[in-house]
Each structure stands twice: as C-alpha cells, then as structure tokens.
Amino acid sequence: MVTLRILLALAAITLAGCASAPIKNPADPLEPFNRGMYHFNDTLDKAIAKPVAQGYKAAMPTPVQMMVSNFFSNMDDAVITINDLLQFKFAQAASDGARFLFNSTFGVLGLFDVTQRLEKHNEDFGQTLGYWGVDSGPYIVLPIFGPSTLRDGAGTLLDSGPSKLRRVHHTRTRNQLYLTKAIDHRTKLLDQEKVLDEAAIDRYAFIREAYLLRRQSLVYDGNPPRREYEDYEEENGFEYQEAPIPNVPFSQQDNVPLLPLPAEEPQMAAAAPETGAESLGVYRVWVAQRAGKR
C-alpha cells in the first residue's frame, strides 16, 4: 500500500511538471498528460523493469527463454482464435485454433512450438472493434501498460475475459504468471530499444507514431487506407517526390516523403525501409523528426 502511494505521488508530480506542454498532434489531445505518464513509466522501467529483464536474459539459458515465450504465445493463441472468428476470418481461425490445440497437447502446454509451419497471427479485441468500424479514439499512455488508445484500452480489458491466465484460481500462481509474462515481454524489447535510442530524437513522439501506425496496419491487415497518411503528412509540410527506396516494393513507394539523410547518419538510411507498410511508416516518423531538427 505504501509503495502504491509513492508511485501515485511520483506520477502526480511528473504530470504536473508536464501540464504546460503544447499539443501538436490532433490524434493526441491528451499530450501533456501522456508525456507526463510516459516519463513516469520510463522512470519505473529504468529503475525496475529493464534491469530485471537484463538480468533474466543474462541468467536464463536461451532454450528456457524460448519455452517461456512459447508458453505465453500459446495462451495468446486462444484469444487470437476468438478474435479471428469475430472478424469472420475463418481460415485464419482454423489455423490459429490448430496451433493452440496441437501446441497445448503435443507441445506440452505450449512449451514447444510443434506448429511452426502454421503462421502466427496477431489479433485482439481492439483490432476486432476497428474491423467493425469503431474509431481508435485519442491516444493515451496508461500507467505501467504504456501506449494505447481508447479503443485498444477497452479491447485489452475485454481480451482479459477469455484469457487462460485469468482462469488460474490460485492468486499467487496467477500473479507470478502475469509477472513472468511481463518480464518475457520486456526482454524481447531490449534489442529493439537499441534501434530506438539511435533513431529517435523525441522518444515520446517516435513511440506514439510508431504505435498508431502499427495498430492501423494491424486493423487493416497490413493494407491501411493511404489517404489518411497523405492528409496528415501534407498538413505537416511534407514534400513528395518520385524516387525509389531500397528494399521497399514498388507498390509502396507512391508518395513516400523522402528527405536527404546526412552522411554521418547512414544507419537509418540503410535499415529504415525493410518491407511492409509498418516499417515504412516508422521510417516516415524518423524522417519527420530529423527534418524538424534541422
């Protein structure tokens, strides 16, 4: 209880210090609050979550880490299958349902992935609401949980209903499973964080735009309406030019804002556009930040 009070006090102090921050993105009307909550979460992450994840990665053998990840991934497949059905993706539901069935049995409760030939999908109730036309609503940074939107926050709450973890009745065991899942998730982000540190000037803005672009891509199965991106970019002064981007399919190069990258920063020029709309969108965010810095 005392710890909770301390955390709430720290959050209040942090949020008060950011109350005067300007609002720049129409998708983020709560930006002053969100920036404060982001700094609060970042402080907790650096003090607790990141050191624990680093220790876990260093101490735990790689095969064990893989089995832990497989176990929680298999539990997620049950929720994914339900959302497949709610979106009328019956072929995908059959695939994800088969993954859950075979990994839960032949894979020893999911510790071993015996269905590697079946594609692993990513569906949640936030995406289901988006599929049925529910707008994402304002971007919001949740305490501990981090980036979200009003729609995705509601989706996360609804996903917890059929979750297998929630059905573990022994309170201590259930809490330990939630904690282990959080550590496993944070460990996976360690390598990605290195790229973020090198690429982002404004970490908050970079994470926000990357999150919103990724969620938009997931809702539309990797093919979001391009019109929304173009409107936002044109409002923010992007100039478009026809030029090829390495490793990006030609169909995705239409109206991509390109700005010259300085010679001393070649790492993002080489690594930015991998494949797919999601990485392309994150590249746009990085370019916009670099352009604003000059």
Residue 168: name the closest of 181, 152, 155 by CA.
Answer: 181
Could you identify the residue written with the tokens 């990141």? 50
Selected residue with higher pLDDT from 19 and 199: 199
CA angle 119, 153, 279 (to 5 degrees): 45
**Can you point out the beta strands (E) in 109-182?**
139-142, 146-149
Question: What pLDDT was estimated at residue 231?
Answer: 56
Q: Which of 65, 247, 212, 226 minimizes the C-alpha distance to 135?
A: 212
Among the listed residues 34, 51, 47, the one whose alpha carbon sits nearest the alpha carbon of residue 143: 34
Query: With contact defined as beta carbons under 8 Å apart, do 261 and 201 qualify?
Result: no
Q: What is the percentage of the chain residues whose pLDDT exceeds 70?
A: 68
Q: What is the DSSP letter of 48?
A: I
**Number of other CB atoms surrounding residue 243 within 10 Å:** 8
pLDDT digits (tens, 9 = 90+) for 79-133: 999 999 999 999 999 999 999 999 999 999 999 999 999 999 999 999 999 999 9
pLDDT given at position 230: 53
**DSSP symbol at 46:** I
Residue 16 has pLDDT above 70, yes or no: no
Residue 248 scores a pLDDT above 90: no
pLDDT higher than 70, residue 290: no
DSSP 127-182: HHHHHTT----SEEEETTTEEEEHHHHHHHHHHTTT-TGGG---HHHHHHHHHHHH
pLDDT value of residue 281 = 52
Backbone angles phi, psi at 189, to 5 degrees: -85, -5
Give residue 176's Cα distance to chain centre: 23
Confidence of residue 241 (pLDDT cuts 50, 70, 90): very low
Is 184's pLDDT higher than 70? yes
pLDDT computed for residue 274 by the predictor: 41
Confidence check: pLDDT of 20 > 50? no
Measure the CA–CA gap between 157 and 79, rounded to whole angstroms. 12
Residue 38 has pLDDT above 50, yes or no: yes
